[in-house]
């Protein structure tokens, strides 16, 4: 059992860390305040190969694995959870779904654009009445001649307003309680694909989250992605990796919250000494670091198992569950250490806390993760 990064992984981590320090950190607060999505960052990350981490070089990707992928998401989220979330959704959901289940023509057509960062991906499963119970989706796809016609509304879609390529799941067999959904590739500009309401969110505010409306949206039959009526099972495999993404995002946010707390505790003086000299603050920092390391180890283990086994529902759900809740706790302690300043937007802890909360909700709530873990234990 080896807990050390390889030299190549260290180079990747340091490269992304330096990029985040120069290209993201100076602007993250401004993007968050303005709720503005920095599309240009995706293009720059594409030049680094970060928008195609999990895709083979045949399609323009870097061909790396999940252990490398979590390093990328962690380092981006350490500076800005919004960018970590955008890169995760682009890589592990939309792009990865096409890479895993697309045919040769679909991979050749869409993956080079997505891996280069010239196209932005979105993945649409959730609906207004279908969240944790994803199988209850009602968006429909009907075969008409040589086309599929989609009707319905998707909600909480990352990049819903800005994506160039969407993977959309819809019901194609109504009589079945399961095995009734199919996935489709829909391009921006397709008639009947309408970006809807942009959500005004608590955190990760510079990562676009919108509804997507489908009104008689006709696409060619060859845009069916994967097996007809089999997309629900395929989506669970995609979400398996997506949950590891969110765990890595949580680890990065928690690390950022700890970083700024260490700096502040050494600089802030009360009663004639830095507050880092007080045992109450030292114990907080120790507990923050311990929970962070536990979350990181669970996440790295899940990534390693994902790379080896392909489908790891228990370890991915454990990592997301623990890391997400740890990030919220660590960020809250960071606010407390900063005292009154932690409650203001002049300092970073409040942003880390707002961004962290998504990690207990997105891509399966903590409650759903506990159900998954329990189900796996009881098999």
Which residue among the candidates 127, 234, 332, 363 is catalytic per the annotation? 363
Phi, psi at 140, each rounded to 5°: -110, 150
- CB burial string 52-74: b at 16+ within 10 A, e below: bbbbeeebbbbbbebbbbbbbbb
Output the CA angle 141-96-319, nearest 5 degrees. 110
Sign of CA dihedral 364, 370, 371, 376: positive
Q: How far is CA 131 from the centre of its chain?
A: 16
Q: Tokens 């993760």 — which residue? A: 369
The question of whether 363 is a catalytic residue gets the answer yes
Output the CA angle 193-199-204, nearest 5 degrees. 115
Phi, psi at 175, each rounded to 5°: -80, -10
Q: Which of 233, 277, 253 is nearest to 334 (CA)?
A: 253
Q: Which two tokens stand for residue 175?
A: 């009589």
Q: Which residues are catalytic?
A: 363
């Amino acid at each position: 059992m080896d807990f050390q990064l390889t030299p190549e992984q260290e180079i990747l981590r340091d490269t992304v860390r330096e990029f985040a320090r120069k290209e993201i950190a100076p602007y993250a607060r401004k993007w968050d305040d303005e709720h503005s999505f920095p599309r240009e960052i995706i293009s720059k990350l594409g030049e680094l190969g970060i928008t195609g981490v999990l895709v083979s070089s045949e399609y323009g990707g870097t061909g790396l694995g999940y252990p490398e992928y979590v390093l990328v998401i962690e380092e981006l989220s350490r500076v800005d959870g919004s960018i970590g979330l955008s890169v995760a959704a682009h890589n592990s959901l939309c792009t990865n779904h096409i890479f895993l289940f697309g045919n040769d023509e679909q991979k050749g057509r869409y993956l080079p654009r997505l891996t280069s960062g010239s196209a932005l991906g979105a993945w649409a499963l959730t609906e207004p009445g279908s969240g944790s119970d994803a199988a209850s989706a009602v968006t429909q796809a009907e075969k008409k001649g040589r086309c599929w016609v989609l009707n319905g509304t998707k909600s909480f879609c990352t990049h819903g307003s800005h994506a160039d390529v969407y993977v959309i799941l819809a019901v194609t067999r109504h009589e079945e309680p399961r095995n009734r959904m199919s996935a489709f590739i829909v391009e921006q500009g397709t008639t009947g694909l309408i970006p809807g309401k942009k959500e005004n969110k608590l955190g990760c505010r510079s990562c676009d989250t919108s509804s997507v409306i489908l009104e008689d949206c006709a696409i060619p039959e060859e845009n069916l992605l994967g097996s007809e009526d089999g997309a629900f099972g395929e989506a669970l495999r995609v979400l398996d990796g997506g949950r590891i993404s969110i765990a890595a995002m949580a680890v990065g946010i928690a690390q950022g919250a700890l970083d700024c707390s260490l700096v502040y505790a050494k600089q802030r003086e009360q009663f004639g000494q830095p507050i880092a000299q007080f045992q109450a603050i030292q114990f907080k920092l120790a507990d923050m670091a311990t929970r962070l390391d536990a979350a990181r180890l669970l996440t790295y283990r899940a990534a390693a198992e994902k790379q080896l086994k392909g489908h790891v529902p228990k370890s991915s759900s454990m990592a997301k569950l623990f890391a997400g809740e740890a990030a919220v706790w660590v960020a809250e302690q960071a606010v407390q250490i900063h005292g009154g300043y932690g409650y203001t937007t002049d300092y970073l802890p409040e942003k880390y806390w707002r961004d962290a909360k998504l990690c207990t909700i997105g891509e399966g709530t903590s409650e759903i993760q506990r159900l998954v873990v329990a189900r796996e234990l009881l098999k």
